[in-house]
Amino acid sequence: MATAAFHSFHTRRLSGRREEIERVFSIGVMERVWSKYIRAGLREQEIPDLHDYNDFHWDRKALFARLHNALSSGSYAPQKSTPVRVEKRYGVTRTLVLPAVEDCVVLQCIVEDMIPSALRKQPSRNSFFSRSHGFSSAPKFQFEKDYIWFRQWRKFSNVRLEFVSTHAYICVTDIANYFDNIDYSHLRNIVSTLHSAEEVTLDILFSVLDKVSWRPDYLPSPERSLPQVNFDAPRLLSHIYLYEVDAFLKSATGDRFVRWVDDMTMTTTSVAAGKALLRDLDQLLLTRGLRLNSGKTQILSAAQARRFFHEAENAFLDGVKDRLARYSIGSKRRLNLLMAVRHRFDQFRKLPPYGQAEKILRRYLTHFTSLQDDYAVKFAVLALPTEPVLREHILRYFSALGPRRETFRAISGYLKGQDALDDSSILQAVQAITEWQVRPNSVLHRDIRQLGIDIGSTTFVECNPFFFVGSLWLTSKYGLRRHITDLISLNYPVWSQSEFLARQVASTFGKFRGHRAGDQVRGLVEGLRFPFASAVFSSFDRIVASSTLRSEVSLYVLNGRNRTTYSIQRFLICLYVLTSSKLDPFARRALRTEVLKYVSDPLYVRVINSIKI
């Protein structure tokens, strides 16, 4: 019967493709890409998951086997992604997507198969792409060591500054709406010439890309537009799409160019020669349906380029980083250097904005964040609502500084004001507050709780449903059980329409500590028949499937025995474990004793100590 059913839905052609499918998507490859790339990549997405995708992680062997079988039998189908808006400037946003976990695994498996041969055929060593893992132009390379993105960015920047010191003129440009205008038919042709992939691998690749791309309002597929996600497939594909550009620039400039994805810097001998170069480059791009971004295209003299890239400021900050590593804490040389950085920061932000000034400001914010130096707080408070390109760095800065009345007012004002226009910033702001260590029942504690209640009101949630997610985060840490149930009940018409939002509701289950209100919430979520959301409850059930706690759950609750920030996700699962009567009470007491060695947040400590076992 199984064979007959198979043949009634698929042709003989699939059996001939199965060997390639089983090779590219083997369970071993899935396990490797999950542990090296996807687990971390999911945590770095614009909108974190309140359950930290532990349902998938703890049951991954069975899920990988199921996914492998689905791919081999021809029954795999990619799922619709969740769109997320990120503000660029003046309310204009770009849309990223959160793919389903299985689709992330599939895409990464294809990348692992494709990347060695594709990158060996790169025309020039002067082009880079923003992979968060690695590559090298050599036939053999170690992803984790050879291509850490910030190392490559520094190398890219150094090559670009070298051009400034050795050439009379340079051209800077990028491609208008690059990811949105990548044509699938062109891309498939390019991939086929660079990588000897079987047809079935490319069929699966483009099926996934097309499905996870943002397409609202029942619009048909445009067969173009790479989804922007925090994983390697779109980054690699967008990189190799410009190989013919690399070949052209290598020939036209004598390999004196540098490219970071679609951001290009080329040397030229004169303004006239630069114009001719840009004209020819634009015409080449037109053959692929692309155009240069005229608003960001410039021909600069060496002196102008030094100012544009802020060569002196970058050199100063590079020197600061190197010298701080050598100076002992508390030494006079170190204190003098820190005062010099403060002075230079003040001088720099008084200058009229020019060129890549925003990148320099981000570097200063990173400096103050790493040292937990509050000198830039006033600047950051004023810039939070008005400078979206700095916002992520500002919120990291506020998180590192810890709870402060001034920074809380800034974040609260931003969330409740008119400037919170994108989805990503809402969660970044909420996450910063959630990472603070706030004294229980303090005024700030009560104010944060009220902020969570306020942004969970229909006024905010109907404007943007990600306010609901932010409210869940804040009330899960700073609120009481009734605050969460009120929030869930009030916003049922909104979250019941979204599997992603329903999943975030399910993730709060640990907060209910076995109370009947938790069962009511579970009934609401499971009644929607959302598999992605119901999987969270199955995950909780597996935790207490036996009286002994599984080692991977215990390790997660213990935060890997690190003294890093104890996340709200770990806290919710910790609560569930410590309050589960199905688990051995002696083991739970021992676990609590161990947890308290690694948790310093006074609110978490108080709640964990209050649990009766």
State yes or no: pLDDT of 146 exceeds 50: no
Exposed, middle or buried, 91 (CB in 10 Å: 0-12/13-18/19+)? exposed
Stretch 16-22: mean pLDDT, rounded?
A: 84
pLDDT band at 9 (very low <50, low <70, confident <90, very high): low
State yes or no: pLDDT of 136 exceeds 50: no
In 159-234, DSSP assigns E strands to 169-173
The pLDDT of residue 13 is: 67
140-149, 230-239, 311-320, 414-423: lowest mean pLDDT where?
A: 140-149
pLDDT band at 230 (very low <50, low <70, confident <90, very high): confident
The pLDDT of residue 561 is: 64
pLDDT, one tens digit per residue, over 51-72 is 999 999 999 999 999 999 999 9
The pLDDT of residue 130 is: 61
For residue 480, the SS3 value is coil
CB 95, CB 214: distance < 8 Å: yes
Task: Report d(CA 504, CA 521) in Å as an integer.
Answer: 12
Residue 377: C-alpha distances to residues 367, 395, 410, 447, 585 (Å): 13, 11, 10, 20, 47
Give percent of the chain above pLDDT 90.
74
Residue 269: C-alpha distances to residues 161, 163, 273 (Å): 16, 12, 6
CB 281, CB 245: distance < 8 Å: yes
Q: Which run of H or E residues covers position 267?
A: strand 263-268
Q: What's the mean pLDDT when you consider all of the chain?
A: 90
Q: Which residue has the higher pLDDT, 246 or 224?
A: 246
pLDDT band at 563 (very low <50, low <70, confident <90, very high): low
Q: Which residue has the higher pLDDT, 156 or 305?
A: 305
pLDDT, one tens digit per residue, over 520-533 is 999 999 999 999 99
159-173, 413-427, 432-446: lowest mean pLDDT where?
A: 159-173
Residue with tokens 């981000």: 362
| Structure tokens, 144 | 């984790």
Amino acid at 479: G
The pLDDT of residue 128 is: 78
The pLDDT of residue 225 is: 87
Stretch 277-295: mean pLDDT, rounded?
A: 96
The pLDDT of residue 152 is: 52
Stretch 92-107: mean pLDDT, rounded?
A: 93
Amino acid at 468: F
The pLDDT of residue 194 is: 85
Instruction: Report CA 10 to chain centroid distance, whole Å.
Output: 37
Residue 552: C-alpha distances to residues 53, 59, 513, 557, 588 (Å): 14, 11, 21, 9, 15
pLDDT band at 321 (very low <50, low <70, confident <90, very high): confident
C-alpha dihedral, 524 to 526 to 532 to 537, nearest 10°:
100
Stretch 17-29: mean pLDDT, rounded?
A: 91
pLDDT, one tens digit per residue, over 577-607 is 999 989 999 999 999 999 999 899 999 999 9
pLDDT band at 149 (very low <50, low <70, confident <90, very high): very low
pLDDT band at 2 (very low <50, low <70, confident <90, very high): very low
The pLDDT of residue 220 is: 87
The pLDDT of residue 338 is: 95
pLDDT, one tens digit per residue, over 422-461 is 999 999 999 999 999 999 999 999 999 999 999 999 999 9
Q: Which residue has the higher pLDDT, 500 or 142?
A: 500
State yes or no: pLDDT of 177 exceeds 70: yes
